[in-house]
Structure 1
C-alpha cells in the first residue's frame, strides 16, 4: 500500500495539491505502523537467542541504508529527463519489487517455510525452545500483566526517551545549524545523508562487538543489552549538550558531533530495541506496537516543545535549553532501563490454558 501511494504521489500533487499529498502521507504513516511490530514478530520466530541482536540490527539498519541511497540518488533522479516524480517512482517500485519477493520467498516461521533445511529448522527451533503445540493452549494477549510489568514499563519509557532525543537530533539540529551557525546542511545531499550513513555503518560495528562478547561469554545478555543501550543514549546525550556551545567558527565540529550522535544511536539496536523479544517472544509484535506507538507520540511532542521554547531561532541560549531537556530525557530513559530492564522471559509470555467446561457446565448445556 505504501509503495503504491508513493508511486501515485506525483499524480496526487497534480490533481489534489498539497492537501491530497498530506492525506496520502498520513495514510502511508498509518500503514507503516505495522512494519516494526511485524518485523519483531518474525525475528522472535526466526532469530536464535544468541543471534537475536545481530539479526535485528541487520533488519532495522536497512531503513538507514535505504535513506542513504535515496538521499544520494534523489538529486540525480530529479535533475534527469524524468524529473522529480522519478524519485517517487523509483522508491515506490523498489517497495513493490520487495513485496513480490517476500510473497514468494518469505516465511512466517521455520515451520511454515518449505525451503528451509531440516538441520537449520531444528537448530532454530531448538534454540527458541519451540515445542509441540497443544489444543488447550492459546496465545491471548495478557494485557493486564503487560501493563503492570516493571521491565516492560521501563522498556516503553526508554523507547519514548530515545525517540524524543533521536528525532530532536534529526529534525531540529539542521534548523539550529542553519539559523545559529549559518550552515544549511539540507542543501548538501552528502551532508544530509552522512548521519544516516554513520548510523548504518556503526550498527554493524556494534553488532560485531556484541557478537564477540556473546560468543566469548565475556558478559551476560542483560549486561550486554544495558551496556549498548547506555552507549546509544549517553554519547548522543553529551553530543547534544556540546552542540549547544559550538560557535560559527567550528561548523565542521558541529557536523562531526551530529554525525557521531546519530551514528552512535545505532547501539540501541542491541539494547532496548530488541528487548521486546527477550521479555516475551510470543508477544514481541504486540510489545513493539505498544512502545513504538507511545514513542511516536514523543516524535510529535518534541518538535512542538522546540517551537514553544525557541521563540528566536537564531538565539543559541534558547537552543541550549532544548538540548538540555533532550539530554535529560535521554538520561532518565536509559537510567530506568538500566535499573528495571530485564532479559529473562516473563511469566506472562507463556500461552494461557483455554477455558474448558466443567462437568456442571456440560450438564447444563
Structure 2
C-alpha cells in the first residue's frame, strides 16, 4: 500500500475516481467493439449481391474489396454476435464473483479487441469465418457486463452505487460516438480501418485497465490508508456489518426469490423495448414514413446521448434522496423504475395512435430512450441492494433474458410486417411495446424491494432484513477517528 509521499503523482485522483473513469471508457469501447460491424458492413457488401460465396466482386472508392453477401448472409453475420453473447452472461457474472471482475472484464475486452483487429482478414477467408469470429467476440463481451457489479460491491459504498452503475450507460455514449467516427474512417480510409481503429483503442484500454484497476481496495498497491479505510468502513456500515460470503451459490434460494425475478423480468421487458426502438423502428421510419433516420447523424446519436444524460441525472438524484433519508431504498428503486418504464409505455400509446407523423415519431422514439435511462437509479442497481455477494449472478440472469428479448423482438417484427410494412401492421408492434413496458413496471412495483436478502450471507445479521442505511458523513468518520486516536 502506498504512503502519502509515494502517491504524489496521483494526488489529483483517488483510486475510486480512476476506477470510475476506466469503467466509463470501458463501456464506451465495449459497445464500440460491438456495433462497429453494423456500420462497416454497409460499405463491405456489394449492393443487391446475390452470391452465397465470399468472392470479391467489387471495390470501394478507397480501393478496398466488397463482398457479394446476400441479405441472409448479412443477417447471419450480424446476428452471430448474440450466439456467443448469450452463453457467457450468467457464467461471466459468477466467475467475476469468484476470480474478480478485473480479470473477467479486462480479459474479455482484451480478447474482443484482438478479434476485432483480425476481422478484415477473416472476411477474405469466407463469410463463415466472419460468423465464427463474431460469435467468439460475443462470447467474450457477454461476460463483461455482469462482471462490473461484483466490483462495485467491493469498491462503491451502498449509497453511491446508483451513480456508479450509471457508468454502464456510457455504452450509449460509445454508440453515439461510434456512428460519426466510423463513418469518417470509412469515407477516408476504407472499412478495414474501422476494425483496426476500434481494436487498437480496445487494446490500449485493456493494458491500462490491468495497470490501474484492482478487484478491491485491499488489493490495490497504490491506495492510501485513508481511502481504503473510508471505503471499507462505509461498505460495512451500509450493508449492516461484516457478513460471511457463502462458499457456494444458493441457487435454489436465488431462483425462488421474487425480488430477484423482479429484477430479471423487468430488465428483460426494458431491454426488449430498447432493442426494438434502436434496431427495428428505423426500418419503420424508412418503409412507412419514407424518412431514413440512419442518414441523419445528429438524429441517430440523439437517443443514445439522451439515455446517457438521463442515467447520470437520475442516478445522482436517487443517491441523494437515499442518503438524505427522504426515500427508502425500496421506494427509490420503485419510483425510478416506474418513471423509466411507464413513460415510454405512454409514449408508445401516442405512437400507436398518431405515429404516421415522422416528426412526432422521431420525438417519441428519442424521448422513450431518454426517459428509459432512469433504469440505472431503478432496478439496474437493485442487485447490489438485495445481494451484493451475488450481484454478478443476478445480473447475468437478467442479461441472458434480455439478450433473448433482442432476438424475439426481431422475430416479432419480421412476422407482423412480413406481408406489408405499413402503419396498420406496425401498430401491433407499438401496442406490444406498451404491454411489455407496463408489465415490467407492474411486476417490479409488486415484487421489487431494496432489502438485503438473507441468502447474501451464511450468517444472519440484525440488519439483514432491513434496507441499506444512509452512510455516515466524512465529518462523522473524522470525528470517530479522533476519538479512537
Tell me, yes or no, whether TM beats 0.5.
yes
Does residue 249 of structure 2 align to residue 141 of structure 1? yes
Aligned mates of 2:297, 2:117 — CA distance in 1:
22
Q: Is 1:240–2:322 an aligned residue pair?
A: no
Shift of 1:247: 5.1
* Unaligned 5+ runs, structure 2: 1-110, 461-485
1:219 shift after superposition: 1.4
Q: CA deviation at 1:14?
A: 2.1
Structure 1 position 229 matched with structure 2 position 229: no
Question: CA 1:326/1:132 → structure 2, altered by over 3 Å: closer, same or farther?
Answer: closer
Q: 1:149 to 1:133 in 2, by over 3 A?
A: closer
Matched, 1:38 2:147: yes
SS at 1:342 equivalent:
coil
| Whole-angstrom CA distance in 1 between matches of 2:354 and 2:112 | 40
Q: How far apart are 1:75 and its partner, in Å?
A: 1.2
Of 158, 162, 175, the residue aligned with 1:49 is 158
Q: Does 2:278 match 1:170?
A: yes
CA contact (8 A) 1:213 1:219 kept: yes
1:306 paired residue number: 413
- Give the deviation of 1:180 after TM superposition: 0.9
Report what 2:396 is aligned to. Answer: 289
Q: 1:352/1:37 Cα in 2 relative to 1: closer, same or farther (>3 Å)? A: farther
1:264 to 2:349 alignment: no
1:21-100 equivalences under 5 Å are 21-57=130-166, 59-80=167-188, 82-100=189-207
Match of residue 362 from structure 1: none
The structure-2 alpha-carbon separation of the partners of 1:226 and 1:138, relative to structure 1 and needing over 3 Å to count, comes to: closer
Structure 1 stretches lacking a partner, 5+ long: 354-365
Whether 1:107 and 2:217 are equivalent positions in the alignment is no
- CA offsets 1:327-355 (integer angstroms, 9 cap, x no match): 101111111111111111100000479xx
CA contact (8 A) 1:53 1:207 kept: yes
* Residue range with higher mean Cα deviation, 212-221 or 65-74: 212-221
Distance 2:316 2:368 in 1: 19
Shift of 1:127: 1.8
Decide whether aligned partners of structure 1 residues 78 and 223 sit closer, same or farther in structure 2, where only a CA change above 3 A counts: same
Structure-1 residue corresponding to 2:123:
13
Query: Alpha carbons of 1:133 and 1:342: their partners in 2 closer, same or farther (altered >3 Å)?
Result: closer
Give the structure-2-normalised TM-score. 0.68
Q: Is the 8 A contact 1:164 1:299 kept in 2?
A: yes
Say how many residue pairs are matched.
347
Deviation sequence 1:50-91 (CA, Å, 0-9, x none): 10101110x2122111111111211111111x2111111111
For 2:317 and 2:420, locate their aligned partners in 1 and report how far apart those are by CA, in whole Å: 40
Please state whether the residue corresponding to 1:218 is helix, strand or coil.
coil
Does 1:2 pair with 2:103? no
Alpha-carbon deviation of 1:19? 2.5
CA drift of 1:170 comes to 0.9
Contact preservation (8 Å) 2:162, 2:316:
no
Question: How far is 1:161 from its partner?
Answer: 1.0
TM-score for both structures, normalised by structure 1? 0.90
SS at match of 1:311: coil
8 Å Cα contact 1:200/1:266 also seen in 2: yes
**RMSD between aligned residues:** 1.9
Change in Cα spacing, 1:183 to 1:349, as seen in structure 2 (3 Å) is same
* Cα separation, partners in 2 of 1:267 and 1:253, compared to 1, 3 Å: same
Indicate the structure whose relative CO is greater, using CA pairs within 8 Å and at least 6 residues apart. 1
Q: 1:92 to 1:230 in 2, by over 3 A?
A: same
Is the CA contact 1:140–1:351 (under 8 Å) kept in the aligned structure 2?
no
Change (3 A) 1:281 1:211: closer
Q: Partners in 2 of 1:71 and 1:124 — Cα distance?
A: 38
Question: 1:71, 1:189 within 8 Å by CA — same for their partners in 2?
Answer: yes
Structure 1 residues 147 and 261: CA distance shift in structure 2, 3 A: same
- 8 Å CA contact retained: 2:269, 2:436: yes
| Residues 241 and 320 in structure 1, CA contact (< 8 A), matched pair in contact too | no
SS at match of 2:353: coil
Mapped to 1, the partners of 2:355 and 2:434 lie a distance apart of 20
